[in-house]
A and B are shown apart, each in its own frame.
Chain A
């Protein structure tokens, strides 16, 4: 086997290993696994649960919209404050 062939083979194997390492690294970053039959790499043997999309009571503001009407003086004040933004 020629030396050039050996070199190209060496770099080929190196590139292949690098690619595998990159794929592994990327897949380990996203450890959110929504399917139930895949292995969990961090805790093998455990079944991953789907994320709970309902916000918890602590994070969700309990009150809903509570609109107040703007008075003419408030509107006038708001309008005069708006000038620097609009000029």
Chain B
């Protein structure tokens, strides 16, 4: 089967965190342009234990609180997500023991729901890409439908340390808590 090609991307820079952090080491910044020549920014956050969290947004939404929630209606989602997958695979070449995670942020419509972050539209789509491109031979797939979170643990890490999964999940639970991450969105009433 021929898979859609993503857009061409380029690595921009690698930044240390703005605030001192115990777990966040660097943010790798990639950029690409979509079919309408709009610029997209992909932030790949490098955490301890070779855990990478990918975030992307359209550059002109960079200052918005809803930058991860807005739908652009440009009908270019497949190529954009494919580009992000390609960036993930590029990171995997550099860090063969990398594990990946993402959150499917709620759309503006979903923010109006009572259960804003349960099984979001983005989560359902990203999950398909994750299961397709990151094979079970190399990754252990973990999911949490209640928070629309997905985590792929590299099995090379599991071979080295059997307790790594517990350590990483503990790290997430302690530092990367939902209340912090969704703080801005959960209290906002969208009109």
Residues of A near B144 (CB, < 8 A) are 65-68
Contact B1 A83 (CB under 8 A): yes
- Per the bound structure, the CA–CA distance linking A54 and B132 in Å amounts to 38
Scan residues 54-79 of chain A and give those whose CB is less than 8 A from a CB of chain B. 55-56, 59-61, 63-70, 72, 75, 78-79
Scan residues 25-74 of chain A and give those whose CB is less than 8 A from a CB of chain B. 53, 55-56, 59-61, 63-70, 72
B42 beta carbon closer than 8 Å to chain A:
no
Contact A85 B129 (CB under 8 A): yes
Contact B1 A61 (CB under 8 A): no
B179 beta carbon closer than 8 Å to chain A:
yes
Residues of B near A60 (CB, < 8 A) are 178-179, 186
Give the residue among B2, B82, B132 with the most A Cβ atoms within 10 A: B132
A81 beta carbon closer than 8 Å to chain B:
yes
Mark interface residues in B1-24 (1 if CB within 8 Å of A CB, else 0): 111100000000000000000000
A1 beta carbon closer than 8 Å to chain B:
no
Size of the chain A interface, CB-CB below 8 angstroms: 24
- Per the bound structure, the CA–CA distance linking A75 and B134 in Å amounts to 10
Size of the chain B interface, CB-CB below 8 angstroms: 33
Q: How far is the CB of B76 from chain A (nearest CB, A)?
A: 13
Residues of A near B173 (CB, < 8 A) are 64-65
On whether A79 and B125 interact (CB within 8 A), knowing A64-B178, A65-B144, A67-B149, the answer reads: no
Residues of B within 8 A of A (CB): 1-4, 78, 82, 117, 125, 127-129, 131-132, 136, 140-144, 146-147, 149, 151, 169, 172-173, 176-179, 183, 186-187
Known A55-B187, A60-B178, A65-B172; 6 more pairs at CB < 8 Å: A64-B177, A65-B144, A65-B173, A79-B131, A82-B132, A85-B125
Residues of A within 8 A of B (CB): 53, 55-56, 59-61, 63-70, 72, 75, 78-79, 81-83, 85-87
